Chains A and B, each alone.
Chain A
Amino acid sequence: MSDTSTETRRPWILAAFLIVTGALGWWASFSLTIDKIAVLTAPDAVLDCNFSVLVQCGKNLESWQGSVFGFPNPLIGLGGFVAPIAVGVALLAGARFANWFWIAFNVGIAGALAFVIWLISQSIYSINTLCPWCMLVWSVTIPLFWVVTVRNAKGGVFGSRLTRIGTVLEPWVLPITVACYLTIAVLAQVRLDVLRTIF
């Protein structure tokens, strides 16, 4: 009896996580969009996100990687980050989704992660900057991917064989996320000598 009640309890932690990370990602995308417009209207505009040669977003926005699909990347985030917010709010309201919905959601987030990994490599190895808003997008996309993927595995979305793996991995989502952050930090440090530049 108590088991069933736990199952049907609303996953409010997951919901809150989706809403917060989605909102942060959307806010970062929105800020980048505004900055992009500022640069387009006045090429020598002073952007709030430009702190130094290393920490800036102007160079990222002007790079070809910043509009890799022919339009500014932040527009993707402006649309995409609405999804986790919507799913989070729906979960809070007690919604239950079909398997295909979770799979589609997971595929979308995996795509976001793949895109973000590519952007990280371009920023560190080609553009040689750390762009504050971009980094906020990276840092929400990474845990979004792990939380949703592990949640889906545990919930049997990918079949019953993966539920065990999901259950085992669940407590490891935080360490995995931290490990991803640290990996990026180390790569950036090795390539850009961030610490010497900032301090």
Chain B
Amino acid sequence: MPDERQTKNQRREAAREAARLEREKQKRRDRLRRWLIPTVSTVVVLAIAAAIVWAFVSNQAAPQSAAGPRNMISDGILFTSDQQGGVAPVETGAIQPSSTPTPTEDGDDGLAHIVTYVDFSCPACQGFEATYADTIESLVASGLATLEVHPIAILDSHYTTPYSTRSNNVGACVADLAPDSFLDVMSAMYVSQPAEGTAGLTSSEIIDVVHGAGLDDADVDACIKSNHFEPWLTAATDRTTSDADLIAPGAQGFSTPTIVVNGEVWDRSGDIMDFIQSHITATPGSD
């Protein structure tokens, strides 16, 4: 019967078609399998390469500065009374590359002009800070004195890393970018001062200390990480340690802390506050 034959033909056709579709499917599956591994491995290799480059670039320290930090034109940062019972930094430009510092002009104004040469990594400076910082700061706040802090790095050999340079660079970074926080950060650096003979704090530990002092600034963090002001710090340290006028009376050589008031180097005898007071001829509120 013709009808039945046609059905048979149709069935055969349908079976053929199904087989063809199955073959096509298999071919597509094979092609996918053939291309899968090479393509995936390419993507993986590229991702690894990108990760390596990214890791390298992000770990790259920013270039160091040839200029000095701003607000330290004299190699130190100067604080005076803000006339409202507090202290404020005096803003200055920066020492330009291959230029020399401009000393602060102290007027003969009856005030005690206190200049301290300190190393953030020096235990004696830590002791000085703990004992006198508050008293000196209130003296400055009351308008009877000014304070000029010169951070220098002379104790790198006392640590297994150049911690002296790394910690005093923090002072330069903060003076440059956030001078209002300088005294707080310096104080926090002394409080967290590591023991001599150790590696000192890592850059991220230093950054934690700075954040703890209330200064959270990505630029400051970057400046700390790259030891941004190391060239200036090295030059300022050389200038300071080679200045014979800064050797305390009776001392063999320069050491920190060295305190100078109105040009006179403290001989480290007696109470420093008496020494400072002896230079004040103005009376409170006479300004």
Contact = CB atoms under 8 A, between A and B. Distances in A.
Do A and B pair up? The answer is: yes
Nearest to B48: A182
B42 A195 contact: no
A170 B39 CA distance: 11
B25 interface: no
Interface in B41-71: 41-42, 45-46, 49, 53, 56-57, 60
Contact of A178 (B35, B37, B45): B45
A175 B48 CA distance: 14
Given A2-B20, A175-B41, A178-B45, A195 B60 contact: yes
B285 interface: no
A195 B39 CA distance: 27
Contacts of B29: none
A172 B37 CA distance: 9
B38 interface: yes
5 contacts: A2-B24, A178-B42, A178-B45, A182-B45, A195-B57
Interface in B7-56: 20, 24, 34-35, 37-39, 41-42, 45-46, 49, 53, 56
A119 to B, nearest CB: 23
A175 B42 contact: yes
Contact of A175 (B34, B45, B56, B57): B45
From A170, A172, A196, residue with most partner B Cβ within 10 Å: A172
A199 B60 contact: yes
Place the interface of chain A in its size category: 10 to 19
A171 B35 contact: yes
Interface string B55-99: 011001000000000000000000000000000000000000000
A174 interface: yes
A174 B38 contact: yes
Nearest to B45: A178
A170 B38 CA distance: 10
B19 to A, nearest CB: 12
Interface of B: 20, 24, 34-35, 37-39, 41-42, 45-46, 49, 53, 56-57, 60
Q: Does more than half of chain B's interface fall in helix, strand or loop, or is it mixed? A: helix
Cβ-closest 6 pairs across A and B: A171-B38, A171-B35, A175-B42, A199-B57, A172-B38, A175-B38
A182 B35 contact: no
A185 B49 CA distance: 10
B57 to A, nearest CB: 5
Interface SS, A side: helix
Nearest to B58: A199
A2 B27 CA distance: 12
Given A2-B24, A175-B38, 10 more contacts: A2-B20, A171-B38, A174-B38, A175-B39, A175-B45, A178-B42, A195-B57, A195-B60, A196-B60, A199-B57
Contacts of B42: 174-175, 178
Contact of A171 (B39, B46, B56): B39
A27 B39 CA distance: 29
A179 interface: yes
A154 B110 CA distance: 96
B69 to A, nearest CB: 24
A196 B59 CA distance: 11
Contacts of A179: 45
Contacts of A195: 53, 56-57, 60
A22 B57 CA distance: 33
A130 to B, nearest CB: 15
A175 B53 CA distance: 19
Interface string A150-185: 000000000000000000001110110011001001
Nearest to B37: A171
